[in-house]
Amino acid sequence: GDSVTQMEGPVTLSEEAFLTINCTYTATGYPSLFWYVQYPGEGLQLLLKATKADDKGSNKGFEATYRKETTSFHLEKGSVQVSDSAVYFCALSRDSGTYKYIFGTGTRLKVLA
């Protein structure tokens, strides 16, 4: 079945460091890929998405490129801030009608001042 694998956390970085959170997926066909972010005490918010191979999603300085050849969708940011501390979820959606997401286990990021 479909699945999403994320790097385990927690990830602890100093402010202005470079961030990479790895995400790989297994799915038939051509799923859409997403990164959601969950700030403490809140629900999930869409951070970025890509719907086809080679698409790059970007938002708030975060980027991820849909790589079909490596079945990956790694999240990157050039310079993290304390306010980026959160849990990040990679997800895929394969159904074209009802978007039933399959989520990774989440990666907790802590950024130190």
Partner 1 sequence: NAGVTQTPKFQVLKTGQSMTLQCAQDMNHNSMYWYRQDPGMGLRLIYYSASEGTTDKGEVPNGYNVSRLNKREFSLRLESAAPSQTSVYFCASQGAVTEAFFGQGTRLTVV
Task: Tell me the HSE value of 73 on the side-chain side, using a 13 A CA sphere.
Answer: 32
Candidates 22-30, 66-74, 75-83, 100-108; binding stretch for partner 1 (CB under 8 A): 100-108
Q: Considering beta carbons, is residue 80 or 90 the nearer one to partner 1?
A: 90
Among 43, 69, 70, 113, binds partner 1 (CB under 8 A): 43
Pick between residue 14 and residue 105 the one whose CB is nearest to partner 1: 105
Q: What letters, b where the CB count within 10 A reaches 16 and e where it falls short, cover 83-110?
A: ebbbbbbbbbbbeeeeeebbebebbebe
Site for partner 1 (CB under 8 A): which residue of 40, 69, 97, 113?
97
* 112, two tokens: 């130190």
